[in-house]
Amino acid sequence: MSVGLVVVSHSAQLAAGVVELAAQMARDVVLVAAGGTDDGGIGTSLDKVTAALGQAETGSGVVVLTDLGSAVMTAETALEFMGNPDTIVLADAPLVEGAVAAAVSAQSGADLAVVRKAAETALHAGVEPALPVPDGGSAAEVTAVLTLINPIGLHARPAAALAGALGAMDVDIDINGADGQSVFLLMALGAGQGTELRVRASGPDAQRAVDLVRTEVESGFGEL
């Protein structure tokens, strides 16, 4: 089973909305919302958080994301009551971006540490200027130039599919200068239909990674 996620927020609607959004990109991941107080007000509930942690634990661990400071305190208190298990960790991450990045990583089969890192680095990386694909590449580098043919281009769902699949590979890959393993950096490209994607990869899984991108792009990400 994949790593589970718990979203702790002062608002029940906010927690549920973040879970709903992340679930669109990670349908096999257990995501549990723990928002609001026991009587439906604004605040946090120790009982709700404790119950959510139990629901999200499927054997591979749980990453917890929170909105404001007191939500962190509630989550920490719940962990203390549970004996601070090594299989449940709090991520110091933006709630929405961190939850989506963590969900995509968990969907790819990443372990607890990698899923936590995905959440915590969701907004930390920058987009490098796109570099030209060298003629013929090099022995250690695999390149491709592909054109987006699906009507909406590299929007959230295909970006998540690429980032999740590539994140499970031993490869360094960039697409138009953006880290191919980051759903947010891929979305930030704003690549619409007809956009040319310059793909460059190195590492043990370089050829497999580029082949994957080619297959997805040429099939229109299943949206044609």
Characterize the bridge pairing of strands 31-35 and 4-9.
parallel
Angle at 28 between CA 148 and CA 186, to 5 degrees: 30
**CA 32, 34, 38, 42 torsion-angle sign:** negative
Query: What 3-state DSSP class applies to 138?
Result: strand
Give first-to-last CA distance, the chain, whole Å. Answer: 31
Pairing of strands 172-175, 62-66: unpaired
Q: Is 124 a catalytic residue?
A: no
Q: For the stretch 102-133, what's the b/e string if a residue is b when 16 or more beta carbons lie within 10 angstroms of its beta carbon?
A: bbbbbbbbbebebbbbbbbbbeeeebeeeeee
Vertex 38, ends 36 and 44: CA angle to 5°?
A: 40
**What is the Cα–Cα distance from 65 to 159, expressed in whole angstroms?**
22
- Among residues 8, 10, 71, 162, the one annotated as catalytic is 10
**How far is CA 32 from its chain centroid?**
16
Query: Catalytic amino acids?
Result: 10
